[in-house]
Amino acid sequence: MYIDDTIAAIVTAPGEAGVGIIRVSGRDALECVNRIFEPARPGVRLEEKVRYMTLGHIVDRSDASQKKTVDEVLCVYMKAPYTYTREDVVEINCHGGYLSLRKTLELVLKNGARLAQRGEYTKRAFLNGRIDLSQAEAVMDIITAKTGKSHELSQRQLEGKLSGKLSEIRHSVTADLARITVAVDFPEEDEPEVTYAELIESTQKHLQEIDRMIQSFEAGKIYRDGLRTVIIGKPNVGKSSLLNGILKENRAIVTDIAGTTRDIIEEYLTLDGIPIRLVDTAGIRSTDDVVEKIGVERSKESIENADLVILMLDRSRELDREDIDIIDIAKDKKLIVIINKQDLESRLDEETVRQHLETGSIIHASVINNQGIDELKAMIKHMVEGQGLTADNDYMINNVRHKNALERAAKACEDALESLSAELPLDIIETDFKNIWDYLGEITGDTTSETLLDTIFANFCIGK
């Protein structure tokens, strides 16, 4: 349900800054601010200066005997419906210190507004029809984007590229549905309104387009969350040294003591625009040390969620049971094996490794001498791009919720195709078409339940 009461929040980031902004939105936004705003030039009124900055002061009149100036500010009134929320909005540009913002916000709240919930401005923009749900989600993705590419993808989603594609498919499904309905309601017509063959053709086309979007998810997810790359291996093989080498800084502690890293260390980096989430783990071995044991368990878990596993071996030691066990854990994953410590005498050759590993690339490295790191980076980049995981698709999806809805829509297409091929009665097929329409509508928010909406917007940040 939509409530049009007046909400307010500090919309700029916390901390000291030149300027901090409070946004007031809703029916009484103007009235609320007018109660506490005193223009510097007498007689000036915010409502006559739509979209202009007006200089003045925020004043506290709660104590009738004594008027207190809280801050010198610039106020701007933006009239509905041409605003972010499509409601009346007033923004107060305060000095960006914590106290002036907090005191001004308190006054706003005392004078007719309530504190905005997380994502409530964007939720109103959605409920008022200015943007659809996928665009609202893109707003949040833009704010949290960590790389240029993921920012670009979210920007395209906000522009409505995804929504446009979805509504195109839904439009065509509606047209089919209309023809099916006529055929069901007037079966006596000589010329059937629509043939099975026509419906099969259009459903196949929809399925193809939906499948393409589902496939784009892998790439979309990587551009949003980063390629989760986990470095694993026995203790002391040089995992932390590799992390430091890739990051070009001493992030992780490196010693010659086996079992140095005891917990997961995670860092972000970008490789020619590809975001990577690089994870260094505790060396895997059987141990009685409780802390180390937990670390080892975590290392194993992190392999499960990895998009790419970098498995490290030490060339100065023979391949042993522990190495082989680790290879076994990781062999179903996308894998790059690094045989490290090439500067030392060899007790391990590539053939021996190959006996235990059918697929996966092998790199020879000496990470403390910076050897092999460029090769590794090139290989990761090649791997990502080689899978068609590039960010060129206009309606690439990066959101699990969207992917799930698309998968259900695809399933409904398949059901429809099966029933159509069997030439089942059209009123049965009608349901499948209705489902396709509904599931696609969940992405744009046309057919999304209120609880789900609440959950989605609750993940937004305050003031957005």
Ligand X SMILES: Nc1nc2c(ncn2[C@@H]2O[C@H](COP(=O)(O)OP(=O)(O)OP(=O)(O)O)[C@@H](O)[C@H]2O)c(=O)[nH]1
In one-letter notation, the amino acid at residue 144 is: T
Residue 291 binds ligand X (CB under 6 A): no
Helix spans in 186-229 (H):
196-225
Residues 269-288 touching ligand X, rule: CB under 6 A, are 282-283
Given a contact cutoff of 8 angstroms between Cβ atoms, the answer to whether 220 and 141 are in contact is: no
The least CB distance from residue 349 to Mg ion, in Å, is 25
Residues 135-174 touching ligand X, rule: CB under 6 A, are none
Q: Which does 236 bind (CB under 5 to 8 A by kind): ligand X, Mg ion, none?
A: ligand X
Please count the residues of the chain: 464
Q: CB neighbours of 251 closer than 8 A, spacing ≥ 6?
A: 243, 244, 265, 267
Residue 302 binds ligand X (CB under 6 A): no
The least CB distance from residue 292 to ligand X, in Å, is 9
Q: CB neighbours of 332 closer than 8 A, spacing ≥ 6?
A: none
Residues 304-343 touching ligand X, rule: CB under 6 A, are 340-341, 343
> Quick one: which of 125, 117, 114 has its CA closest to 454?
117
Judged by CB under 6 A, which stretch of 62-70, 80-88, 217-225, 361-369 contacts ligand X? 361-369
3-state secondary structure 373-419: HHHHHHHHHHHHHHCCCCCCCCCCCCCHHHHHHHHHHHHHHHHHHHH
Question: Rule CB under 5 A: which residues touch Mg ion?
Answer: 239-240, 260-261
**Closer of 233 and 441 to ligand X (Cβ):** 233
Write out the DSSP string of 124-178.
HHHHTTSS-HHHHHHHHHHHH--SHHHHHHHHHHHHTHHHHHHHHHHHHHHHHHH
**What does the block give as tokens for 398?**
């990066």
**Closer of 97 and 259 to ligand X (Cβ):** 259
CA dihedral 356, 341, 230, 225 (to 10 degrees): -130
The least CB distance from residue 285 to ligand X, in Å, is 8
The least CB distance from residue 200 to Mg ion, in Å, is 58
Q: Is 443 helix (H, G, I), strand (E, B) or coil?
A: helix
Q: Which does 256 bind (CB under 5 to 8 A by kind): Mg ion, ligand X, none?
A: ligand X
Q: Which does 399 bind (CB under 5 to 8 A by kind): Mg ion, ligand X, none?
A: none
How many binding residues for ligand X (CB under 6 A)? Answer: 24
Residue 368 binds ligand X (CB under 6 A): yes
The least CB distance from residue 308 to ligand X, in Å, is 18
Q: Which does 367 bind (CB under 5 to 8 A by kind): Mg ion, ligand X, none?
A: ligand X
**Closer of 233 and 372 to Mg ion (Cβ):** 233
Task: Give CA–CA dist 29/112, Å, rounded.
Answer: 8
The least CB distance from residue 359 to ligand X, in Å, is 23
**Closer of 113 and 313 to ligand X (Cβ):** 313
Given a contact cutoff of 8 angstroms between Cβ atoms, the answer to whether 437 and 177 are in contact is: yes
The least CB distance from residue 255 to ligand X, in Å, is 6
**Closer of 177 and 368 to ligand X (Cβ):** 368
**Closer of 27 and 300 to Mg ion (Cβ):** 300
Cα 73 to chain centroid, rounded = 35
Among 344, 400, 422, 458, binds ligand X (CB under 6 A): 344
Residues 242-261 touching ligand X, rule: CB under 6 A, are 254-256, 258-261
> Quick one: which of 9, 119, 158 has its CA closest to 464?
119
Residue 376 binds ligand X (CB under 6 A): no
Residues 184-243 touching ligand X, rule: CB under 6 A, are 233, 235-241
The least CB distance from residue 248 to Mg ion, in Å, is 17
Cα 274 to chain centroid, rounded = 15
**What does the block give as tokens for 216?**
């784009």
Give 366's DSSP letter.
B
Query: What is the binding site for ligand X (CB under 6 A)?
Result: 233, 235-241, 254-256, 258-261, 282-283, 340-341, 343-344, 366-368
